[in-house]
Structure 1
Amino acid sequence: MRLFAVSTLLSLTLLYSPAGFGQDPLLKPVVDAAAEINTQAKNSQIRVETIADSTQERIQQYKQISRQIEGLEVYTAQLQKQTDNQNREKAELNASIDEVSVIERQITPLMLRMINSLDKFIELDVPFLPQERAERLASLEQLMERANVDVSEKFRRVMEAFQIEADYGRNIEAYNGSMTVNGQPQDVEFLRIGRLTLIYKTRDGSQMGLWDQQQQQWQELDQSYASDVREAIRIARKQLAPDLLMLPVPAPQSGSGV
């Protein structure tokens, strides 16, 4: 209202002063003051518009930052969930590690007892493949002393040795070896049928022997079995198809399994 009134006064002053009445010295200060006021009003209007534009820009910036904050809050909440899950998994892993440590302390003595039992069993068993079985035992004993091998791998190897020994009782095998016959070392062929029968035959077939588990010694085998022994050796080597053979089989002893 004030700006409008001053502008009106200025207009009326300019309207009457130059045309009809001339420039009255008494009105000049009023005219100048009105012009100054009008100029200041324009400048004020410009500042108001500038401030309004700046305020609008800041409002837009505020809205944009608010949206960014909302997005960050959602992202932070998701990260917190992931962190909580990782902390739970970490706690479960630590608990599992503690349990593994307890199991490791318990299973190592068990494996040592198993190896010791296997050693005694082989010592009392039918004496086939002595070197191979002795090397397997020695390998297990060395393995147990190694710190860079996991307990799981040690246990697997021990169980593998037990499985191999168990399989010996369910298959037939022929292999070459050497033994002392009549005081002389000779190359011979061995025939093993499970753990029941262990026979040797010299290369020329002139001598054969059968292991007597009860007496813990070799007994001479009659030459009447020579043909069946040769055929059984060929079957064991997969050179012949399985067939019915007549071979000496001692009565099994109790407690002969692994």
Structure 2
Amino acid sequence: MGPAYFCFLLAALGVTAGAHRLWSHRSYRAKLPLRIFLAVANSMAFQNDIFEWSRDHRAHHKYSETDADPHNARRGFFFSHIGWLFVRKHRDVIEKGRKLDVTDLLADPVVRIQRKYYKISVVLMCFVVPTLVPWYIWGESLWNSYFLASILRYTISLNISWLVNSAAHMYGNRPYDKHISPRQNPLVALGAIGEGFHNYHHTFPFDYSASEFGLNFNPTTWFIDFMCWLGLAADRKRATKPMIEARKARTGDSSA
């Protein structure tokens, strides 16, 4: 199970530190080697290419819980979790999504190249590499490598990611803004390596940590901090303590 969990973490970072916090929200800057690494990891995640993922996520924040939100939680748990992928996008998603400014995404050659070669990169990184590496290096059977490090890992990682759209919009407290749907959900944060502090994230979407408490279980934040220490990332954006406390007092639900 070691290789499967390693692939899970790698793929998760491609989404959380890459498509989400870097490309969707521009909450920090990454140098070319780190952007290439995150793009490769994002292909392992197989959750749409960086451009499409980021565009949809920006629509999700701008039009949250409306028909222009690709996975509108007001349409129920099943729809926000997986159902939105089974149906055509609502016309509001398409029409309002076209009005979003995504020029910064298209200006990044890493994003453009990953989008151009997305299908082959997914086949290689999501299925071929996780299967062949354990088989070739330490003699794991192809059957175990394929079904554990590739298929099972991919299935679990998809559902954990989708819980951010479903469970984290329905279950938990709202200490920062009680007027919006997203919640603080520690279990989702545990599975999605720091992405479950969702009431905070929707209140302060520019914050690179996606949480008030960076030292809580938030491996994505630890990874970004480590990349900054290595000199591969910089300019981490953060909500200030006075800003956070003022928002809690004004719109929070008075929970811890």
TM-score, normalization: structure 2? 0.22
TM-score, normalization: structure 1? 0.22
Larger RCO (CA within 8 A; separation ≥ 6): 2
User: Which of the two has higher C-alpha Rg?
Assistant: 1
